[in-house]
Structure 1
Amino acid sequence: MASKKLSLWVFPLFLLTLLSCTKDNSKKKETIDSAATGKAQGLSLEEVRAIAKEAYIYGFPIVDNSRVQYAFFVNKLDSDYKAPWNTICNIPRVFTPKDKTIQTPNSDTPYSWIGLDLRAEPIVFTIPVIEKNRYWSLQLIDLYTHNFDYLGSRTTGNGGGNFMIAGPRWKGKTPKNITKVIYCETEIASAQFRTQLYNVADLKNVIKIQNQYIAKPLSAFLGKPEHSKIKDITYIKPLTRDQENKSLQVFNNLNFALQFCPTHPSEINLMKRFAKIGVAAGNTIDTLSLSPEIKKAMHDGIRDAWADFKQLQIKLEKGEVSPSDGYGTRAFLKNNYLFRMMAAALGIYGNTKEEAMYPAYYIDSKGDKLDGKYRYTIRFSPHELPPVNSFWSLTMYEQPSSLLVENSLNRYLLNSTMMSQFKKDPDGGLTLIIQNQSPGKEKESNWLPAPKGPFSMIMRLYWPKEKALNGSWKQPPLVKKD
């Protein structure tokens, strides 16, 4: 649990007890009692179900984010462990099918990860000068999964500097040698560097850049004594991804994480509503003591949340909604919690659209879902390649796992750094080949291997141009050849 100091700023820790349901003979409906506001409140089972649905949609991204953070920054026995909090871990390689913690991983750019514990004091990033044409970014992600800001080629340039990330309680003065101060809504956050890799031979240059990324607590950056030590967080056991999808324990994991999320003014009434079923910062719901009727209502609420997600996913597959709609600041999302859930469920930590866009392929040109038993092509007409200031890629994912695909070429994507290797069409266009079996040696340069079964693909446009942002450029269709 969080320290006693932490409880001074978090949403009040309600001492909630969910009682077994009783029957009101006059109203003919089951009720639930809650001490959330200091007096008993009767809730119908329909209300419990509705609130559970809302709380689940709201909380799923937070719980899943905490699951990843626990693996990356807390559990040293986890194969995906990176480094302790406030310590950069450079990964001098790209994702492969062996990486299974994050859905739809990016294999374009080697990553550097850092978990940010901002409770005691700010963290200062020192960034080196990076050559003009190499793309880099530092994506800053709060506990809600909002991308609350960026450093990088697009936003701050490649000239280097000192950038301070401060938590919501920090009230200190900004040192003179700080280039920019960025505030985070939550006490716990994470950040990920992406550094462009041109080819295998370029890896040594990427490693050199990664080794110059520095993160220090403000006191260490200033050469002063360490800020007063804050108590380590005692973490609740994270759920597996499958458990997150259906277990009532998800609400307790949400309650744990909410301790590090001071209530936003726009969500005060929402938190009061959630508290009626025991969802509140630091609270523990005794799920074993709940009546069967209450348990069913809450489970039904979770199922209702996934039903809403499925409807949104259909719109996504039809192109009526973009994956980019789920990533961004709180202001951009406008508290659209279902979009935020969509983003976390399909590919947590995606970029804000100004940083990268994600045109996706879930169906072919005839509206059929994609399967490796068929052959497909994507053709870019001359002068109609993805419009970007940096680079673009197309990555293959098997379904339903949304993970990279093992194949004989160890090729998980095609991207614009491979343009010199691609074979162009007679008119100067470019045709990419999507299928499970090799199209033959003479065509393998344009081949993206698919699995034998269901799959999807995501195109990434890094630092997209206005033509992409305003929708005047459209991704070409995926055409089935059989």
Structure 2
Amino acid sequence: MLTKRELLHSAAWLAAAGLPCGSAAFAQTARPGIVKAAEIAEAGFIYGLPIVMNYGVMYEYAVDRNSGQFKAPFNQIANEARVFTYKDTAIVTPNSDTPYSFLWMDLRAEPTVLSVPAVDPKRYYSVMLCDGNTYNFGYIGSRATGSEAGVYMVAGPDWKGETPPGVRKVFRSSTQFAVAGYRTQLFNPADMDNVKKVQAGYTAQPLSAYLRQPAPPAAAKIDFPKFDKKLVKTNFFEYLDFALQFAPAQAVDKDIREKLALIGIGPGKSFNFKDLSLKDKLEIAVGMKAGQRKVDEKTKTIGKDVNGWRLASAFGDSAFYNGDWLLRAAAATMGIYGNDAVEAAYPVTKIDADGKPLDCAKANYTITFPAGQQPPVNAFWSVTMYDGKTQFLVKNPLDRYLINSPMLPGMKLDPDGSLTIYIQAKSPGKDKESNWLPAPAGPVYLAMRLYWPKEPPGLSVLPPGDGSWRPPGVKRVGAAGA
């Protein structure tokens, strides 16, 4: 599906295949011209990529019961009493730290009321609210609202009304569909039953049910377009067109939406690739390929380089992006549904301290945190291993996908009090396996996660790239298998 990295890169690959999008209207007289059309398609691809990616995840998680990734229908919470593994492929760079709960919300008929239980202050949890534009429009949880029980409401863009009694805060989605992503800290495998108890306290209900009033008329049934690898290669703008009907234009969207309309893209329009002339197909293909190149380049340069790690603040709400569609597209490509930096910071790398690509078919590596220099957080931190090509978790003999701070009691410190993590495809030896992060025998992608990072003036990763704490570089320590 689209969120697989190789598919993302093939979405604009079209030229050779006779690519996507367009409509019969595009082929008519009021066309913008070949150069302008390509420019608009480029801008439209960048603008639409996160929106189409989000639709793909929503389709697999909440629409297609046979997707293999299905969680639950709209407006029902799906609790995962497990952490993600190499088998989870709907989201790139998935978090394997915290069992997830998901709630995909259809907000067309009425708002949804969310209730959370009291959670032990020692256990971090968060509920990230993300809409179809991939804007993080609100948070509930340890950092944002505290550990006490509470009731909150999520409303769609067209809802009008007063805050209901007992509701602590109303969050407003910019789209008619939105997702609540729950992250509940797991201390160790034996802690899973405790996580289940917390998850059982997460509830969701329509506003009418909360108020004990009659429900409003149900929203119209939707015929969601099927989403798969083959179709996204040829129907990218058709998916965007479909998604935009549930995303009313904001002031910041005005310019790009007007440009897209010039080539027949927008809410209420209908694309049919077969109706396009070869010339039209090529114009759109050229623009999309240019857009993909820009997104790829942005993902490489976003943020700042610190000892080989890229640190950036790449996720946020509509005001955070303020029309920077390229940043939004790059952020989604790097890892859709990432947190705001104040909730979690994400140093990532594909290179070692000398700037050479990480490849565990060729070399072994280490990361060493000096004594007193472990990541400064209010909650916890982790280092997760991904395949460098796909950005998915890696199957390995230990079923270990990360090393995190809750594991520290079972790990070994160096004589000087520092902590060394061994990054290699084969075991570093039984005496070091407690500190081993298994890698694929090939390219590697590493992601740190600093949950609820401490803020200045003390030691801090914030602001990302300019904080006083700097992640240590990944050092090559010998040939693979040595």
TM-score after normalising by structure 1: 0.90
- Is 1:279 the counterpart of 2:268? The answer is no
- Is 1:362 the counterpart of 2:337? The answer is no
- Pick from 469, 475, 481 the counterpart of residue 479 of structure 1: 475
Aligned to 1:309: 295
- Is 1:17 the counterpart of 2:24? The answer is yes
What is the one-letter code of the residue matched to 2:130? Answer: I
Closer, same or farther: CA 322–279 of 1 in aligned 2, 3 Å: farther
Q: Distance in 2 between matches of 1:283 and 1:449?
A: 49
- Pick from 313, 328, 340 the counterpart of residue 316 of structure 2: 328
Aligned to 1:423: 412
- Pick from 436, 454, 462 the counterpart of residue 465 of structure 1: 454
1:170-209 correspondence runs (5 A): 170-209=159-198
What is the one-letter code of the residue matched to 1:345? Answer: T
Equivalenced residues, count: 447
Aligned to 2:421: 432
Aligned to 2:18: none
CA deviations over 1:344-373 (Å, ceiling 9, x no partner): 222111111110010012100111111112
Closer, same or farther: CA 19–193 of 1 in aligned 2, 3 Å: closer
CA deviations over 1:225-249 (Å, ceiling 9, x no partner): 2222111221112242x754xx341
- Is 1:230 the counterpart of 2:237? The answer is no
What is the one-letter code of the residue matched to 1:216? Answer: Q
Q: Distance in 1 between matches of 2:312 and 2:137?
A: 15
Q: CA deviation at 1:200?
A: 0.8
Aligned to 1:151: 140
Q: CA deviation at 1:438?
A: 0.3
CA deviations over 1:128-165 (Å, ceiling 9, x no partner): 11111110000000101111111010000010111011
- Is 1:256 the counterpart of 2:242? The answer is yes
Closer, same or farther: CA 370–317 of 1 in aligned 2, 3 Å: farther
1:383-422 correspondence runs (5 A): 383-422=372-411
- Is 1:372 the counterpart of 2:360? The answer is yes
Q: CA deviation at 1:110?
A: 0.3
Aligned to 2:13: none
What is the one-letter code of the residue matched to 1:17? Answer: A
Q: CA deviation at 1:286?
A: 2.2
| Structure number, greater radius of gyration | 1
- Is 1:350 the counterpart of 2:350? The answer is no
Q: CA deviation at 1:278?
A: 1.2
Q: CA deviation at 1:215?
A: 0.2
Aligned to 1:75: 64
TM-score after normalising by structure 2: 0.90
Q: Is residue 55–residue 132 contact of structure 2 (8 Å, CA) maintained in 1? A: yes
Aligned to 2:110: 121
Closer, same or farther: CA 19–433 of 1 in aligned 2, 3 Å: closer
Aligned to 1:107: 96
- Pick from 214, 239, 253 the counterpart of residue 267 of structure 1: 253
Q: Is residue 323–residue 343 contact of structure 1 (8 Å, CA) maintained in 2? A: no
| Higher alpha-carbon deviation: 280-289 or 104-113 | 280-289
Q: Is residue 39–residue 287 contact of structure 2 (8 Å, CA) maintained in 1? A: yes
What is the one-letter code of the residue matched to 1:468? Answer: V
Aligned to 2:439: 450
What is the one-letter code of the residue matched to 2:275? Answer: S
Closer, same or farther: CA 348–275 of 1 in aligned 2, 3 Å: same
Closer, same or farther: CA 152–78 of 1 in aligned 2, 3 Å: same
Q: CA deviation at 1:184?
A: 1.0
Aligned to 1:341: 329
Partner-residue secondary structure (3-state), 1:253: helix
Q: Distance in 2 between matches of 1:55 and 1:45?
A: 15
Aligned to 1:43: 32
Closer, same or farther: CA 272–317 of 1 in aligned 2, 3 Å: closer
Q: Is residue 239–residue 250 contact of structure 1 (8 Å, CA) maintained in 2? A: no
Q: Structure 2 unaligned runs (5+)?
A: 1-21
Q: CA deviation at 1:313?
A: 2.9
Q: CA deviation at 1:318?
A: 7.1
What is the one-letter code of the residue matched to 1:360? Answer: V
Q: CA deviation at 1:322?
A: 4.7
Q: Is residue 372–residue 450 contact of structure 1 (8 Å, CA) maintained in 2? A: yes
Partner-residue secondary structure (3-state), 1:414: strand
Q: CA deviation at 1:205?
A: 0.3
Q: CA deviation at 1:289?
A: 1.9
CA deviations over 1:159-211 (Å, ceiling 9, x no partner): 01110111111112222211111111111111110000000111000001101
- Pick from 41, 50, 54 the counterpart of residue 52 of structure 1: 41
Aligned to 2:78: 89
Q: Distance in 2 between matches of 1:141 and 1:19?
A: 33
Partner-residue secondary structure (3-state), 2:409: coil
Q: Is residue 324–residue 352 contact of structure 1 (8 Å, CA) maintained in 2? A: no
Q: CA deviation at 1:16?
A: 6.4
Q: Distance in 2 between matches of 1:71 and 1:346?
A: 19
Q: CA deviation at 1:319?
A: 2.3
CA RMSD of aligned residues (A): 1.7
CA deviations over 1:92-140 (Å, ceiling 9, x no partner): 0000111111110100000000101111111000111111111000000
Partner-residue secondary structure (3-state), 2:305: coil
What is the one-letter code of the residue matched to 2:461? Answer: A
Q: Distance in 2 between matches of 1:363 and 1:198?
A: 30
Q: Is residue 325–residue 333 contact of structure 1 (8 Å, CA) maintained in 2? A: no
Partner-residue secondary structure (3-state), 1:444: helix
Closer, same or farther: CA 322–120 of 1 in aligned 2, 3 Å: farther
Q: CA deviation at 1:335?
A: 1.7
Q: Distance in 2 between matches of 1:424 and 1:452?
A: 26
Closer, same or farther: CA 45–243 of 1 in aligned 2, 3 Å: same
Q: Is residue 327–residue 353 contact of structure 1 (8 Å, CA) maintained in 2? A: yes
What is the one-letter code of the residue matched to 1:369? Answer: P
Q: Distance in 1 between matches of 2:110 and 2:449?
A: 35
Partner-residue secondary structure (3-state), 1:459: strand
Aligned to 1:8: none
